[in-house]
């Protein structure tokens, strides 16, 4: 005889389970189409929001935020006629390689992303890409300046220059025609006095690639390579290393550090030690794109450091156009008048180019199709038309800058084709 109580309990449990299944199906926040594409595209982020690189990491995140907000306000990505909203899942990894690996695994395994913006640091990217490339997860960055994301990764995109490309541009200017330099308002005699070039920076992949680029460009243009001085990570006493730099007797010094904590103290030591004082004509000071920002020039002035006469570069000209002005105004409106507009704009445009590639691929899940689509994509940025080469490296011009009376100025000199050779497409370790 059937136990009525057990029968009723069994029927109740079956009904409950069935109801939960139906609820899960009907209340799910996303749905998929026949191609497996969801109505929400998840983009992961590994950002340096704390620590020495927080200034760069914050502007990077803001650039992504702006792009996503504009896409979502327009209804979402257009994937084969279907509107797909974008969800951003960022994690703060500081400058810690272990955190980068940990959060990469979380983004892939828990958050189920197949595209990540960041990380920035080469040491972080090295561990991240060992996970993402085998998993066919796309990684892109607009501030990393590394070949790890181009020649070093099948599923990577480097939406900025790299250490070698940057240093090629500096040496290219030293070798340029005097008439071009004079027209740009530069000190022609000072530049043409340069015979020996040296580089000062932290011992890491980005800087080592810069050394390779500077050295091969110097040899190409007939300059003597005086050498490089690389200090280990964690250094706070720069005097011993600046002393070694002085012993190289350079005519021009490339300061290849990119956080204020690694830029301002060595510059102070160079002024105090004698023989490396660019304000007295001892050397010609050359810097990277961080030195070429007005924020750095202002901060240096507050610290009693005059960087007038320094020659740097940027991915964007200092002069404006109506399109640049409009983008910068949107940035200031969203993030405040003190926002790092050029850095935010750089990541914003890289993210928008990736989104355009997603739309042209017609899928948010097939990363093989997506990377091929991005490589064929042309994006009309406000700075220049953006394309990438076969390796996923952004083909960008370098706009050469100088600092005069505390103000960053565009020289009007731009290089492009001259920069892409040798170490520009190599990983230097």
**Per-residue pLDDT tens over the stretch 98-138:** 999 999 999 999 999 999 999 988 889 999 999 999 999 99
Rounded Cα–Cα distance for residues 236 and 424 (Å): 30
Asked whether residue 15 carries a pLDDT value surpassing 50, the answer given is no
Query: Which residue, among 364, 424, 423, 367, has the nearest Cα to 394 in the 3D structure?
Result: 424
In the beta sheet, which residues pair with residue 117?
A: 45, 140
Asked whether residue 152 carries a pLDDT value surpassing 50, the answer given is yes
Percent of the chain exceeding pLDDT 90 equals 79
- The alpha carbon torsion through 414, 417, 423, 425 (nearest 10 deg) reads 120
Where, residue-wise, is CATH 3.40.50.2300 in the chain?
A: 40-160+320-386, 164-314+398-425
pLDDT for the residue 52: 80
Reading the block at residue 114, the tokens are 């197949």
Mind listing the pLDDT tens digit for each residue in 248-261? 999 999 999 988 99
Q: What is the 3-state secondary structure of 267-299?
A: HHHHHHHCCCCHHHCCCEEEECCCCCCHHHHHH
**Distances in Å between the alpha carbon of 35 and those of 32, 39, 109, 136, 363?**
8, 12, 21, 17, 8
pLDDT for the residue 317: 75
Residues with Cβ within 8 Å of residue 344, at least 6 apart in sequence: 59, 62, 63, 66, 331, 335
| Phi, then psi, of 348 in degrees rounded to 5 | -55, -50
Report which of residues 273 and 8 the model is more confident about.
Answer: 273
Mean pLDDT of the residues in the chain: 90
In which band, very low, low, confident or very high, does the pLDDT at 55 lie, cut at 50, 70 and 90? confident
In which band, very low, low, confident or very high, does the pLDDT at 8 lie, cut at 50, 70 and 90? very low
Tokens 């600046």, located at residue: 242
8-state DSSP, 427:
-
In the beta sheet, which residues pair with residue 402?
A: 311, 409
pLDDT for the residue 37: 64
Reading the block at residue 279, the tokens are 């304000």
In which band, very low, low, confident or very high, does the pLDDT at 3 lie, cut at 50, 70 and 90? very low
Reading the block at residue 263, the tokens are 């830029």
pLDDT for the residue 11: 45
CA 249 and chain centroid, separation: 33
Superfamily of domain 40-160+320-386: Response regulator (3.40.50.2300)
In which band, very low, low, confident or very high, does the pLDDT at 36 lie, cut at 50, 70 and 90? low
Mind listing the pLDDT tens digit for each residue in 187-215? 999 999 999 999 999 999 889 999 999 99
pLDDT for the residue 10: 47
Lowest mean pLDDT across 31-40, 337-346, 383-392: 31-40
Residues with Cβ within 8 Å of residue 388, at least 6 apart in sequence: 157, 159, 374, 375, 377, 394, 395
Rounded Cα–Cα distance for residues 355 and 415 (Å): 28
pLDDT for the residue 259: 87
pLDDT for the residue 122: 86
Asked whether residue 403 carries a pLDDT value surpassing 90, the answer given is yes
Residue range 164-314+398-425 in CATH 3.40.50.2300: yes
Rounded Cα–Cα distance for residues 253 and 197 (Å): 6
pLDDT for the residue 401: 97
In which band, very low, low, confident or very high, does the pLDDT at 342 lie, cut at 50, 70 and 90? confident
Rounded Cα–Cα distance for residues 243 and 240 (Å): 5
Tell me if the bond preceding 201 is cis, omega within 30° of 0: no
């Amino acid at each position: 005889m059937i136990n009525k109580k057990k029968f009723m309990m069994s029927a109740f449990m079956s009904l409950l389970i069935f109801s939960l299944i139906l609820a899960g199906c009907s209340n799910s926040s996303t749905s998929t189409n026949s191609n497996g594409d969801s109505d929400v595209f998840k983009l992961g982020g590994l950002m340096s929001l704390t620590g020495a690189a927080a200034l760069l990491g914050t502007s990077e995140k803001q650039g992504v935020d702006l792009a996503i907000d504009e896409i979502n306000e327009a209804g979402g990505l257009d994937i084969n006629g279907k509107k797909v909203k974008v969800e951003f899942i960022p994690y703060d990894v500081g400058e810690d390689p272990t955190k980068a690996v940990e959060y990469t695994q979380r983004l892939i395994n828990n958050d189920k992303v197949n595209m990540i913006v960041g990380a920035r640091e080469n040491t972080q990217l090295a561990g991240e890409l060992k996970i993402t490339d085998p998993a066919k997860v796309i990684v892109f960055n607009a501030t990393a300046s590394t070949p790890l994301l181009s020649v070093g990764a099948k599923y990577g995109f480097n939406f900025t220059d790299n250490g070698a490309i940057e240093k090629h541009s500096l040496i290219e200017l030293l070798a340029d025609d005097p008439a071009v330099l004079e027209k740009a308002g530069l000190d022609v005699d000072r530049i043409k006095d340069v015979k020996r070039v040296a580089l000062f920076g932290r011992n890491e992949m980005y800087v080592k690639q810069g050394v390779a680029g500077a050295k091969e460009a110097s040899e190409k243009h007939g300059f003597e390579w005086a050498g490089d001085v690389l200090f280990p990570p964690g250094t706070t006493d720069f005097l011993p290393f600046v002393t070694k730099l002085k012993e190289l007797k350079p005519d021009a010094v490339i300061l290849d550090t990119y956080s204020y904590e690694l830029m301002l103290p060595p510059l102070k030591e160079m002024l105090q030690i004698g023989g490396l004082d660019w304000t007295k004509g001892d050397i010609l000071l050359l810097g990277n794109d961080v030195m070429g920002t007005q924020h750095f020039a202002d901060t240096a002035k507050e610290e009693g450091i005059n960087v007038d006469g320094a020659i740097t570069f940027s991915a964007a000209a200092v002069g404006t156009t109506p399109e640049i002005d409009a983008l910068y105004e949107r940035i200031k409106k969203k993030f405040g008048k003190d926002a790092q507009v050029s850095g935010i704009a750089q990541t914003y445009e890289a993210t928008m180019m990736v989104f355009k590639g997603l739309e042209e691929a017609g899928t948010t899940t097939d990363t093989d199709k997506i990377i091929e689509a991005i490589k064929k994509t042309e994006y009309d940025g406000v700075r220049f038309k953006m394309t990438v080469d076969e390796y996923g490296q952004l083909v960008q011009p370098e706009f050469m800058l100088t600092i005069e009376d505390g103000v960053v100025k565009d020289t009007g000199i731009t290089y492009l084709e001259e920069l892409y050779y040798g170490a520009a497409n190599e990983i230097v370790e």
